[in-house]
Amino acid sequence: MRLFCFPHAGAGPSAFRAWSRTLPAGVDVLAIQAPGREARLGEAPFQDLPPLVTGVAGAVGAYDDCPMAFFGHSLGAIVAFEVTRELQRRGSDGPIRLFVCACRAPHRAPRSPPISGLPDAEFLEKLGRLGGTPHEILGQDELMALLLPGLRADFRLAETYLTSTTASVACPISAFGGRADPEATAEDLAGWALHTTGGFQFRLFPGAHFFIFDEPAGMVEALAIDLVGSR
């Protein structure tokens, strides 16, 4: 089985580097590498969701020789959900399970005001409060000048995304969240049940928005259980 991981805003494959050592044998971990991030930092980031979804669907659709599952964190959950819908529209088998983490259900509006259009200083201050970006990186002006276009583009994608309760996928969904996450509450996560015609699992773990990196053991164990159960 292949587990495709969709990173949060501004992140890339390195966010999931350790997962291949902790998941069951036979689970191959691959991470989405979008333009404007890590090794593709010099490329222009996507400003709109549809072309990103189309591009990713075309890439993962080539890996159809064994079952696949998707895991998306924050913005990555939105992208993974829409890629799953796109694969369904194309008549592909798509993932056998979709994992969404630290992300509001697609029909629920964001809880916080948008920050993607703020001046640089305010945007970086808000970014620091959210976590996920080390403060030593936030303090490097030259590096942040390179990262800001991709970060702004990613936040804009997340902030402007909203769809109806009728948008759904056929595969089961497992929703994971941090108990102290103000951006994706238990109510926000439970709403994902409306977006699948398959089964639905919902679990909360200690921590806030980036709990999967601060305290990953329990979540990775739950992910492994659901993966094995999906085979």
Contact present, 69 and 3 (Cβ < 8 Å): yes
Alpha-carbon distance of 3 to 25, in angstroms, equals 12
Annotated active-site residue 74? The verdict is: yes
Q: Where are the beta strands (DSSP E) in the chain?
A: 2-6, 28-31, 68-73, 98-101, 173-178, 200-205
Alpha-carbon distance of 31 to 71, in angstroms, equals 9
Q: Return the sign of the alpha-carbon dihedral for residues 98, 104, 108, 109.
A: negative
Domains present along the chain, CATH in parentheses:
2-230 (3.40.50.1820)
Contact present, 106 and 81 (Cβ < 8 Å): yes
- Other C-beta atoms within 10 Å of 161: how many? 18
Alpha-carbon distance of 211 to 54, in angstroms, equals 29
Alpha-carbon distance of 50 to 94, in angstroms, equals 17
- pTM of the entire structure? 0.95
pLDDT of residue 141 exceeding 90, the answer is no
pLDDT on residue 61 = 86
Contact present, 198 and 170 (Cβ < 8 Å): yes
Q: What is the mean pLDDT of residues 180-196?
A: 96
Among 74, 92, 112, 164, the one annotated catalytic? 74
Model confidence at 82, pLDDT cuts 50, 70, 90, reads very high
Q: For 18-66, how does the pLDDT look when each residue is reduced to its tens digit (9 = 90+)?
A: 888 888 888 999 999 999 988 998 899 999 999 999 999 999 988 888 9
